[in-house]
Chains A and B, each alone.
Chain A
Amino acid sequence: MSKKLVALTGNDAAAYAMKQINPDVVAAYPITPQTSLMEKFAQYVADGEIDTEVVLVESEHSAMSACVGASAAGARVMTATSSQGLALMWEICYIAAGYRLPIVMPLVNRALSGPINIHCDHSDAMGVRDSGWIQLWAENAQEVYDNLLQAIRIAEDPSVLLPVIVNYDGFIISHAIENMHIYDDAGINKFVGEYKPKYTLLDPANPTTFGGFDLPDYYFEHRRQIADAMTKSAKVIADVAEEFSKICGREYKFIEGYRLEDAEIAIVALGSTVGTARAVVDELREKGVKAGILKIRVFRPFPEGEIADSLKHLKAIAVLDRADALNAVGGPLFDEIRAALYRKSDIPVVNYIYGLGGRDMGLGEINHVYADLAGIAKTGKIKELTTYLGVRE
């Protein structure tokens, strides 16, 4: 497959992936908190470059509802959202997963109100973490593009049939321009293939009912099936990544370690902060500090075993959360990383809530985390379990 080096924002990269996927239906709410991603995609349609049916609706609740209807009809369906938009979709997100509709949605991660804020933050994604959507997380514009193309294949696999969210950081990835590779339309076409729905509302010869009332005698079985599909999706995610890496030459795993193998201290993070942390780790390594990073690319299904294996040799771990669970303990990623390590290690793990509402996470803040970790590794003592990093005291 031929590739081309281009400079695109994260949003343009997502729109370009959507253009190449050429979904049958895209239903979206066109106003804030929707980002320029949908604007760009709608332009491709308006210019006649693709033949997607774009349905502009009056709210994000309606956007996801229209997606559910179109997907149940058998169409390949995408949408996009951000921040409050996802919060308004929330009810229907559960329905999309519950009806096993393979909708794919880029999610530009931004804060939830209130007070009102639409800057980078992971609270929106964490709000739907238990909805039955697979969640992939991107570190940069290239991964937005690559993850979206893979997401279609993952969602539509007959053993999965679950919707997929492709997360990327608001503004930091969505609006910043980066160099990245795009691939030729024919190759991408072949990779994403054609969607063959298991059930469709538009087959008069085989009429089906979607959305029937599911009483206590069947609902539990259907929920159990979703759990099974989420478990089975792990193999599909791995297979699709392998196939994709043959095209693009980049490796995609559930998690990715950076200078982690011989590290003594490490941070665990999602999204663009991993990129910033790489620079910090390189500097620390030059000073002889054995620092590393564990990036989580696949958050749902949660790769518990891989995470525990990759962290087991460390002396201290910091989990970075760009969202707070407000449970008077720590952030959502922290909770899950600690659970992954339960009975597998007694390494001290601390939590940093950072960057809420778009507060910058710079080299200084990350250096601060590694300095704390070095102290914990030396003494084995945790002074503060959860730190609000960068908040004014």
Chain B
Amino acid sequence: MAKTEKTKAPGWREVPIGGVNPEAGNAVKYNSGTWRTFKPVWFNDRCTQCYLCWINCPDVSILIKEGKVAGIDYEHCKGCGICAAVCPVKPKKAIEMVKEEK
């Protein structure tokens, strides 16, 4: 889905003035998922489909397919850990934070 645009960056005459972004939802075009030190890992076999992670994710990075949680969008997830923190599944959470390996 997400792809990084690889065209020549626009010059100052072409850029919208004032730093205004006139295009809604264009973050989908950019890989903004490069900041993480920990990444959420989702376990399908533990997930109860309660959607708490999807409701709480501030970056719309819980992927939903055919009405069901289906994984993490790592191109937009910042690694904040909220999804793992709110996951109510016991004894082991369905989302665990794992150190990023770079």
Contacts and interface: CB of A to CB of B under 8 A. Distances in A.
B9, B12, B13, B18, most chain A CB atoms within 10 A? B18
Contacts of B60: none
Interface of A: 98-101, 161, 198-199, 206-212, 214, 217-222, 224-225, 228-229
Interface stretch (B20-28, B33-41, B89-97): B20-28
A209 B25 CA distance: 10
B15 to A, nearest CB: 5
Contact of A222 (B9, B19, B22, B24): B19
Contact of A212 (B15, B19, B24): B19
A225 B20 contact: no
Contacts of A219: 19
A228 B18 CA distance: 12
A199 B24 contact: no
Contact of B18 (A99, A207, A217, A224): A99
Contact of B19 (A207, A211, A228): A211
24 contacts: A98-B18, A99-B19, A100-B20, A101-B18, A161-B17, A199-B18, A199-B22, A208-B21, A208-B22, A209-B20, A212-B21, A214-B19, A217-B9, A219-B19, A221-B10, A221-B11, A221-B12, A222-B12, A222-B15, A224-B12, A225-B13, A225-B18, A228-B12, A229-B17
User: What 7 pairs between A and B have smallest CB-CB spacing?
Assistant: A100-B18, A221-B12, A209-B21, A207-B24, A224-B12, A99-B18, A221-B15
A209 B17 CA distance: 12
A109 B47 CA distance: 65
Given A208-B22, A209-B21, 12 more contacts: A100-B17, A199-B16, A199-B18, A209-B20, A221-B12, A222-B12, A222-B17, A222-B18, A225-B12, A225-B13, A225-B17, A228-B12
B21 A98 contact: no
Contact of A198 (B11, B17, B19, B24): B17
B9 A210 contact: no
B12 A208 contact: no
Contacts of A224: 12
A217 B15 CA distance: 11
B20 A210 contact: yes
A163 B73 CA distance: 42
A99 B12 contact: no
A210 B21 CA distance: 7
A228 B14 CA distance: 13
Contacts of A212: 19, 21
B71 to A, nearest CB: 27
Contacts of B17: 100, 161, 198, 222, 225, 229
B19 A210 contact: yes
Contacts of B16: 199
Contacts of A211: 19
B5 to A, nearest CB: 12
Contacts of A210: 18-20
B21 A225 contact: no
Contacts of B18: 98-101, 161, 199, 210, 222, 225
